[in-house]
Amino acid sequence: MNSSSTTQNAWSPEDCDRAVAALHNAESLRILVVGDLMVDAYLLGRVDRISPEAPVPILRASQRERRPGGAANVALNLKALGASVTVGGAIGMDQDGQDLQKSLDDQGMDTDAIVALKNRRTTVKTRVMSGGQHLLRVDEEDDADLNPEDSQEFLERLAAVLAARPFDAILLEDYDKGALSPTVIDGLLEMARERSIPVTVDPKFRHFDRYQNVALFKPNLKELRDGLGLLWEDGNEAAMNQALTEGLNRLQAEWKPEQVLLTLSERGVRVKTALQDVQQPAHPREILDVSGAGDTVIAVATVLLAQGLDPVSMAQVANLAGGLVCEKPGVVPIDLQTLLAEVRRLPIQA
């Protein structure tokens, strides 16, 4: 095939019908989400003056919010699409962990695969915001990989859940916070292979090369660049495209994923299989906040992949969904009816 990607905008009535049917049918799926659970906290208010003590803005706080984040936000996206979701991850034996698990329980999630560990704290990301704009983020976390004993406890919990009920897909959401240790990754991938369950992965840098032979691997531009050590001069689009092509070819040869979905922010997405390498441009949007867009992309892609939708159509719809959530401030799940309407509005170019 060609050494670089082709841009493909073709979208037939049949493509639209298949995508809409797959989204409607998400309610028939059961998906296991495993990864780094966290709390997305927000301190909201307005800024109207600078501090006399230091050249920093003063936020007049008016509201606090707490939402499930990280892998839990991916689970919320899947739930919003209608799927049945089991959530797996590690939390601390602290109030933040209890609140997070209760929030997921209250929203209809199965939390049987969550382990509470006494030697860890629950990850909390606090975003300070004014007028929809981020001023500051504060992270409270323990991000070392789970130790051998905790990894084994987590794997045993996951094994029990997998033995108890069938799953249509397993989604691994890695934020480099330690829940997906090498032991957990290797053990879970083996259990998935034994049961012929497709695995989709949203990777981070630390264990980028650990995810072998998965159904879908979804890095973003920075993750692919860092994970493979790709080099190009910033601003040189031709050099970047060449490096990405070489990187994707290497990724497919060495990691052997069935599909790679590379998210490229304002450049759209690129989907690579053994037979195709296609780039989909971004859809014009009023971008307020990119937080959580990758969570939405992997959730939508997993729902469509689990039903056998072709890779290019899967990338088209997942790309669309990622753009939609960027129109709202903060980390929010996709709205199914909005997504369905936008899919139906895609221009037909058979």
What SS3 string covers the chain?
A: CCCCCEECCCECHHHHHHHHHHHHHHHHCEEEEEECEEEEEEEEEEEEEECCCCCCEEEEEEEEEEEEEEHHHHHHHHHHCCCEEEEEEEEECCHHHHHHHHHHHHCCCEEEEEEEECCCCCEEEEEEEECCEEEEEEEECCCCCCCHHHHHHHHHHHHHHHHHCCCCEEEEECCCCCCCCHHHHHHHHHHHHHHCCCEEEECCCCCHHHCCCCCEECCEHHHHHHHHCCCCCCCCHHHHHHHHHHHHHHHHHHHCCCEEEEECHHHCEEEECCCCEEEECCCCCCCCCCCCHHHHHHHHHHHHHCCCCCHHHHHHHHHHHHHHHCCCCCCCCCCHHHHHHHHHHCCCEC
pLDDT at site 1: 41
User: Structure pTM?
Assistant: 0.92
Is 89 within the bounds of a domain?
Answer: yes
Full residue range of the structural domain in which residue 23 is found = 6-39+70-124+143-345
Is 331 within the bounds of a domain?
Answer: yes
Is 138 within the bounds of a domain?
Answer: no
Q: Quote the mean pLDDT of the chain.
A: 92
Mean predicted confidence (pLDDT) in 32-39 = 97
Is 64 within the bounds of a domain?
Answer: no
Is 350 within the bounds of a domain?
Answer: no
pLDDT at site 283: 73
**In the predicted model, is pLDDT for residue 113 greater than 60?**
yes
Mean predicted confidence (pLDDT) in 246-257 = 95
Is 288 within the bounds of a domain?
Answer: yes
pLDDT at site 288: 47
Mean predicted confidence (pLDDT) in 28-40 = 97
Domain count for the chain, please give it: 1
Going by pLDDT thresholds of 50, 70 and 90, the confidence category of residue 265 is confident
pLDDT at site 2: 42
Is 48 within the bounds of a domain?
Answer: no
**In the predicted model, is pLDDT for residue 331 greater than 90?**
no
Mean predicted confidence (pLDDT) in 234-245 = 92
- Could you tell me the CATH number of the domain that includes residue 213? 3.40.1190.20
pLDDT at site 289: 47
Going by pLDDT thresholds of 50, 70 and 90, the confidence category of residue 103 is very high
Is 132 within the bounds of a domain?
Answer: no
Going by pLDDT thresholds of 50, 70 and 90, the confidence category of residue 26 is very high
Mean predicted confidence (pLDDT) in 229-254 = 93
Query: Which residues carry out catalysis?
Result: 295
Mean predicted confidence (pLDDT) in 280-308 = 80
